[in-house]
Structures are given as structure tokens and as C-alpha cells.
């Protein structure tokens, strides 16, 4: 399993008994990320067995309460648990001031380092990378500055064709990394062995696109094109398209259009308005446009 997404919350506006605001836990290529942190997120993390110590990077899409009001509580709990590892938070400009003021006036003291990466660009940019994964912003259209996030595995090393490699005594174990990196091999005779004869294509790299609150926005299509998994907000059904436009949100149908035009593999709908009791209607509407549509449900896990 290379990618696993756990829905911790997927409803809009205020928390209710069985409806939790937005938060997601993503595991991709052995990396662990928290995406948005609505009120009650740490309770949901405990309920669905998300290890607190695994979270070193938190991505906040925008500064509406249903997407970040749980953050200060989680930060404080990390302090109570004697966390020592640094915690990196990526979010809109202003998030550092908000969190530091909350810590200051509550006289809360944490021993670990908080590192803020404040965002203000209206263009997609690389905001995180390591040896295995990279994360890009997805600029969205909402009532305040908002980003989605694209999580991508970096290209994986090629696989060794040992039946071919074993035919050449000159190829030693110390040469394997070069072969995995795609390099040809030069024999002492001067003959060049093409990498394609000594290796196989690497395992496909996976990607997940998270599109938080936004009106219909075709500008994101090029950024998310071909993603294996796309979460796209669908606060309303088409019966409220006018309200969606007014509040800078999307309908399930519009999310389906984005998924179809971006040629993603699978679409997940979420951020449902409380005015709808039956969320299966969102799935039905989305599937009319994009057949491989599913809906977010609290506690549901999507795996590739």
C-alpha cells in the first residue's frame, strides 16, 4: 500500500453529533500528513487510531474555522504529551500570528519547535519535498485566500532485471544504484549495455489532490491532471448552484466536471452542507458526470 487517506471529518460549517468539520490523515510512501484541522480533530485522530507522534507536517487550506479551529488544541496536546520533534505548519499568511497569540494569552508553553510556512502566492508552488514525496499548492477561488494541496510521490527507482545482470560478471552490487537511477553500464570491452536491458520500468508513482473550499475553477485542471485520487468539495447539489456561486463553493456536478476534465482516476466528494440529510444524493449527482465518484464519510479509508 503506497497511499492511504483517512477521512476524519467531511462536513461544512458547524460540528454536529454525527457530522465533523474537515480534517484528513494522509499516508503516502511512508510519509504522514494532516490536512486541515477542524474542531475536534484530535478526538477523531484518537477514534480512528491516527498516531499523534507520526504527524510532523500539517497543511491548512484557509482560515475559516471549520478548517483550523482544532489546530491550537492539537498543538497544546502535543505539548502535554512532551513532544520534542519540531512541527511544521503550512497555511495562509496570518496563521502564525493567530497560533502564537493563542499560546501567549493562554500562557501555554511548548518545548518543541513550531515552524510556520506562511503562504500568499496565487500561483502553484512547491512547498515541501523530501527524498520520496513533494507537495504543491493548488490555488483555489473562495471568499478568502485558500489553497488546496497536491501530494505526489517522486519518481521511483527502476527495478533490477537480475536474470540479465547476472550474465555480466563485471556488474557488481556497488553498480546497482546507478542502474536503478537509469544509467547505462560500460563494459571493459567498451560495449555499452543499455539500461533498458538491465532494468524494468519503476512502479508507478501515486498522487493525491486535495481541493478544499472553492467555486468552480478550471484553472486547477492542469495542476491536478491525472491524479490517482481527487478530493473536491461539493457543499451543494445543483439545486443550489446559485448559492454555491454566491458563497464561492461547488456543487457535486461541478466537482464531477473538474474530475472529468482533469482525467483523474477517482473522485471523492465532501464538505457537505447541513441542509442535506442524504449524502448519497451527492454521489448520484457526481456519477452522472464522472462515473468513478465516491463520497467522503467520517472514518472511511481510501487506499491505493
**What span, in angstroms and rounded, lies between the C-alpha atoms of 283 and 295?**
6
| CA dist list (Å): 123 to 60, 152, 185 | 17, 18, 41
Residue 218 and residue 230 share a domain = yes
**What span, in angstroms and rounded, lies between the C-alpha atoms of 36 and 133?**
19
Instruction: Name which residue leads in pLDDT, 18 or 242.
Output: 242
Residue 193 and residue 214 share a domain = no
> 176-183: long-range contacts at Cβ-Cβ below 8 A with a sequence spacing of 24 or more?
181/157, 182/158
Task: Look up residue 258 and give its three cell numbers.
Answer: 473538474
Residue that terminates a domain, selected from 200, 228, 262: 200
Predicted TM-score (pTM) of this structure: 0.92
Residue 266 and residue 184 share a domain = no
Residue 152 and residue 282 share a domain = yes
Q: How confident is the model at residue 222 (pLDDT cuts 50, 70, 90)?
A: very high
Residue 77 and residue 169 share a domain = no
pLDDT above 90 covers what percent of the chain? Answer: 94
Q: What is the pLDDT of residue 2?
A: 86
Q: Residue 1 above 70 pLDDT?
A: no
Which residue out of 36, 66, 213, 228 is catalytically annotated?
66
Residue 126 and residue 214 share a domain = yes
Please, what is the average pLDDT of the chain? 96
Q: What is the pLDDT of residue 221?
A: 98
Residue 175 and residue 252 share a domain = no
Residue 164 and residue 92 share a domain = no
Q: What is the pLDDT of residue 251?
A: 98
Question: Which among 246, 251, 214 is positioned nearest to 235, based on CA atoms?
Answer: 251
Residue 252 and residue 113 share a domain = yes
**What span, in angstroms and rounded, lies between the C-alpha atoms of 123 and 135?**
14
Among all chains, which residue has been given the C-alpha cell 494541496?
149
Is residue 66 part of the annotated active site? The answer reads yes
186-218 per-position pLDDT tens digit: 999 999 999 999 999 988 999 999 999 999 999
User: Residue 227 belongs to a domain with what CATH number?
Assistant: 3.60.15.10
> 193-197: long-range contacts at Cβ-Cβ below 8 A with a sequence spacing of 24 or more?
193/168, 195/158, 197/161, 197/164
Q: What is the pLDDT of residue 109?
A: 87
Q: What is the pLDDT of residue 203?
A: 87
**Residue 29: which region, alpha, beta or left (left: phi > 0; alpha: psi -120 to 50)?**
left
Whether 37 and 260 have beta carbons less than 8 Å apart is answered as no
Structural domain count of the chain: 2
Residue 214 and residue 124 share a domain = yes
**What is the average per-residue pLDDT within 159-175?**
93
Residue 272 and residue 258 share a domain = yes
**What is the average per-residue pLDDT within 45-74?**
97
**What span, in angstroms and rounded, lies between the C-alpha atoms of 224 and 234?**
17
Residue 178 and residue 134 share a domain = no
12-29 per-position pLDDT tens digit: 988 888 899 999 999 999
By residue range, what is the domain housing residue 133? 3-156+203-303
| Neighbouring C-beta atoms of residue 15, cutoff 10 Å | 16
Q: What is the pLDDT of residue 245?
A: 97
Amino acid at each position: 500500500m503506497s497511499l492511504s487517506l483517512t477521512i476524519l471529518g467531511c462536513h461544512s460549517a458547524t460540528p454536529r453529533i454525527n457530522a465533523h468539520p474537515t480534517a484528513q490523515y494522509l499516508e503516502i510512501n511512508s510519509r504522514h500528513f494532516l490536512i486541515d484541522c477542524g474542531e475536534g480533530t484530535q478526538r477523531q485522530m484518537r477514534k480512528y487510531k491516527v498516531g499523534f507522534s507520526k504527524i510532523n507536517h500539517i497543511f491548512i487550506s484557509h482560515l475559516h474555522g471549520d478548517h483550523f479551529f482544532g489546530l491550537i488544541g492539537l498543538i497544546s496536546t502535543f505539548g502535554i504529551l512532551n513532544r520534542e520533534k519540531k512541527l511544521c505548519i503550512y497555511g495562509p499568511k496570518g496563521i502564525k500570528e493567530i497560533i502564537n497569540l493563542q499560546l501567549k494569552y493562554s500562557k501555554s508553553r511548548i518545548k518543541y519547535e513550531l515552524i510556520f510556512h506562511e503562504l500568499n502566492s496565487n500561483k502553484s508552488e512547491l512547498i515541501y519535498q523530501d527524498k520520496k514525496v513533494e507537495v504543491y499548492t493548488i490555488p483555489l477561488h473562495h471568499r478568502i485566500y485558500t489553497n488546496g494541496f497536491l501530494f505526489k510521490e517522486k519518481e521511483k527507482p527502476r527495478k533490477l532485471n537480475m536474470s540479465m545482470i547476472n550474465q555480466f560478471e563485471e556488474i557488481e552490487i556497488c553498480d546497482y544504484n546507478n542502474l536503478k537511477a537509469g544509467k547505462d553500464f560500460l563494459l571493459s570491452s567498451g560495449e555499452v549495455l543499455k539500461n533498458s536491458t538491465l532494468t524494468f520500468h519503476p512502479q508507478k508513482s501515486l498522487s493525491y489532490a486535495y481541493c478544499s473550499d472553492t467555486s468552480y475553477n478550471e484553472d486547477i485542471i492542469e495542476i491536478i491532471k491525472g491524479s490517482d485520487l481527487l478530493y473536491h468539495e461539493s457543499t451543494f447539489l445543483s439545486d443550489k448552484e446559485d448559492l454555491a456561486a454566491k458563497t464561492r463553493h461547488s456543487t457535486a456536478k461541478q466537482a464531477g466536471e473538474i474530475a472529468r476534465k482533469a482525467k483523474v482516476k477517482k473522485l471523492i466528494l465532501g464538505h457537505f452542507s447541513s441542509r442535506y440529510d442524504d449524502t448519497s444524493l451527492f454521489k448520484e449527482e457526481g456519477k452522472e458526470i464522472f462515473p468513478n465518484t465516491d463520497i467522503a464519510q467520517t472514518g472511511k479509508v481510501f487506499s491505493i
